[in-house]
Amino acid sequence: MPASNLAAVLAAACLAGAAGCNTAPVDALFGAWNSDGFNLLIAPDSTAAWGNCSYGRIPHGLAPDRTGRFEVTFDYTFYPGANGSKPVTTRLRLDGRLEGNQLTIRLDPMTNSPPIVHVLARGSGQPYLPCP
């Protein structure tokens, strides 16, 4: 078989979801994901992100590519708690990868601060309410 025909057959097999090709259906992300310091609640039309007196909302679901990777930028608000300070909102870049029942994410504040990595597992929960 000529190389060009073989490439076309392999590409068609991957698109059809044949064994050996890595696929990450969008609905595999739906639901709650938890770690010690960060949580996501992913739905088809929105994603809630929260942890440690902070909260953000991504106004759409997360869409992984066929390798399970995704990236999104969104507003995230840090609530200072009861000390009287005002909340601070910043832009965060979230990129991640879904591998089975594990979701590894990297939160990048897009400043001089280094990104923070969290490994999340399927969990349960509701979006975090701000600290009092």
> Is there a contact between 89 and 74 (Cβ–Cβ < 8 Å)?
no
The pTM (predicted TM-score) of the whole model is 0.72
Token reading at 115:
């990104």
Compute the distance between CA of residue 75 and CA of residue 36 in angstroms, rounded to an integer: 21
Per-residue pLDDT of the chain (132 residues; tens, 9 = 90+): 444 443 333 333 333 333 334 445 667 788 899 887 889 999 888 999 988 788 899 988 788 888 889 999 999 998 876 666 788 899 999 999 998 889 999 999 888 889 999 999 988 655 555 565
Contact 1, 8 (CB under 8 A): no
Residue 72 is classified by DSSP as E
